[in-house]
Structures are given as C-alpha cells and as structure tokens.
Amino acid sequence: MLSAAVQILAFALALLGVLGATVATLLPNWKVSVNAWSSIMTPISQMQGLWADCVWYSSGVFSCTMKDSVLSLPPSLQMMRAGMVLCCVVAAFGLCLGSLGLKCTRWGGSQRAKGHTAMAAGGCFVLASLLCLVPAALFTNEVITAFLTTDLPDSSKYQPGGALCVTFIAAGFLLAGGVIFCLSCPGSRSAGPDIDYIKV
C-alpha cells in the first residue's frame, strides 16, 4: 500500500508539471520590459513570449501580436517552441502510461506489466522535464545576456518573466514525478518478495 501511495504522489506531481508546462507554453510573459530608469510618465509593460508579443498600457488596454510567421523567427525561438510542445506531448503520454501503471487501479494488466508501464511513464516524465528545462534555461540565458549588454538603451532591456518561473517549477515537478515513478517499480527492489506478491 505504501508503494501505491508513493505512485499516487508521483502521478499528482507529474500532473501538476504537465499543467504548469502547458500554461507556461501559452503565457506571453517569458520576458518583461524593464522601465525602472525610463523617463516616460505613463507606465507601460511590454511582454514577449513564444507565440505572441503583448503590450499592457496604463489605461488597461492589453494588446497582443501573434508570431504567425515561423520562417521569420530566430532559430533559437523555433527550437524553444518545439521543445515546449514536445514536453507537453511526452508528458501527456506519460500521464496515460502512468494511469495504467498505478497499482491502485484495476486496468493495466498484471502487477509485473504495471511495473514496466510505470517505469516507462517515469522515463517519459524525466524526458519531458529535460525538454522543458532546456528551453527555459536557454531563454533565461538570452534575456540575462541582453540585459547586461551596456550598449542597449534601458527601454530595450527585458528581465525574465513569470512564465519562466512557472516553466522551471513545472520541470521540477515532472522530474520529481518521473524519478519517484521509476523508484516505485518492482524491478528496483529485490526480486523474491515481488514475485510472490505478483502471483497472489
């Protein structure tokens, strides 16, 4: 029963990771403009994401421009897009496998088959966490490098936005869920007691 409870915990962590990665992929605030040294009296916030660039005026108007042309985007941004989309797809597939590998469910076959399925689900979650972590790290590095460039005006500088924080947290949830799933499999323990349990 303890192993089943651990698997449920891992599934819940992975589910939070999938939701976080999906939300972060769609959010437009991967980087936010810095106006701390600006002389503009009317406050304005400029945000850039993977799919759209948005502007939030002090009057409350929120306007977004979609990045429709894929060929006009930088190769790094295209790679980050692909990484986040693959992360969501792989993690969703891992959830499907994880639901079959849970010991507390009746579907999924025998306990040995459930163990193999849970191991595959854990591998999907770990892979999804890497696919989520790499784009976030590269994007953060680009933002910080551009911010530290002294020849850029302050109005053209950006800082990491809230979507990057959500991305890192989602990657952590996916990694934790994947590792716990893999460690909860019967193959990670001694074979004798598990074989007797499977035959019951």
Residue 161 belongs to some domain of the structure = yes
* Whole-number pLDDT of residue 185: 65
SS (H, E, C) 109-159: CCHHHHHHHHHHHHHHHHHHHHHHHHHHHHHHHHHHHHHCCCCCCHHHCEE
Residue 199 belongs to some domain of the structure = no
The CATH number of the domain where 79 resides is what? Answer: 1.20.140.150
Residue 124 belongs to some domain of the structure = yes
* Whole-number pLDDT of residue 113: 75
Q: What is the pTM of this model?
A: 0.80
Burial (Cβ within 10 Å: 0-12, 13-18, ≥19) of residue 71? exposed
* Whole-number pLDDT of residue 26: 92
Residue 175 belongs to some domain of the structure = yes
Residue 58 belongs to some domain of the structure = no
124, 101, 136, 104: which is closest to 174 by C-alpha? 124
Residue 162 belongs to some domain of the structure = yes
Counted domains in the chain: 1
Residue 99 belongs to some domain of the structure = yes
Q: What is the mean pLDDT of each run of 10 residues along the chain (200 residues)?
A: 76 93 92 63 74 81 81 87 94 90 70 79 93 94 84 75 93 93 63 38
* Whole-number pLDDT of residue 59: 73
Q: Which domain holds residue 127?
A: 4-30+75-149+157-184
Residue 193 belongs to some domain of the structure = no
